A and B are shown apart, each in its own frame.
Chain A
Amino acid sequence: QVQLQESGPGLVKPSETLSLTCVVSGASIISNEDWWSWVRQSPEKGLEWIGEVHHSGATNFNPSLESRVTMSVDKSKNQFSLNLNSVTVADTAVYYCARGRDFTWGYWGQGTLVTVSS
């Protein structure tokens, strides 16, 4: 079955870059039907969509984060990544990766907590 697993540092310093990777198993990241998304959740903001990437390199981002976000796909490792730069404490959240197909996200990773603190 399709599984997604996030990984990355659990602690990031303010002004630095948050980098996360999502490894996909049970599905091919080069499927034309699929978009690969990042979502975060904090008590203050609830669930917030960050953006999505297609294996072609196409991306869509939440306008509120667009200036700080990059996403990419690594086809050789069947994984995709998120970089969020210039982080502040407001970026502290649980970060999820998810697979989007036909505007539906049926598969999610378990989530990883990222804390921004000096």
Chain B
Amino acid sequence: QSALTQPASVSGSPGQSITISCTGTSSDVGGYNHVAWYQQHPGKAPHLIIFHVSNRPSGVSSRFSASKSGNTASLTISGLQAEDEADYYCFSYTSSTIYVFGTGTKVTVL
């Protein structure tokens, strides 16, 4: 099972919106609505920000939104803030009854 494909880096200025893509296959992202997104700051554990494709846990900013089309999931961060600078990982259940992470995207706030 290969890792899901994400861009290595995305950057934006404060207040802007950025979108991170996560490309898989019909056996993972395209086949299930069990897609999640995690934010990870240096030295910290991953933090859940999106589950079941587009749902936000309580306490997560509404500036984070996500969707899926075919085999590609997307995470959008609106009104970019300095605290959003972190690594972001997508995550999906697969038909092999296992889980797979994305390759990770480093978000830089310019």
Contacts and interface: CB of A to CB of B under 8 A. Distances in A.
Interface of A: 37, 46-49, 60-64, 96, 102-106, 108-111
A108 B96 contact: no
Interface of B: 1, 3, 32, 34, 36, 44-48, 51-52, 57, 89, 91, 93, 96-101, 103-104
Contacts of A102: 52
A40 to B, nearest CB: 11
Interface centre among B51, B52, B99 (most CB of A within 10 A): B99
B46 A108 contact: yes
A110 B3 CA distance: 23
Contacts of B1: 62-64
Main secondary structure of the interface of B (DSSP, over half): loop
B101 A63 contact: no
A32 B46 CA distance: 24
Contacts of B97: 60
Greatest chain A CB density within 10 A among B34, B51, B89, B93 is at B51
A46 B102 CA distance: 8
8 contacts: A47-B91, A64-B1, A103-B52, A103-B93, A104-B34, A105-B36, A106-B51, A108-B47
Contact of A47 (B46, B47, B51, B93): B46
Nearest to B34: A103
A48 B34 contact: no
Contacts of A103: 32, 34, 36, 51-52, 93
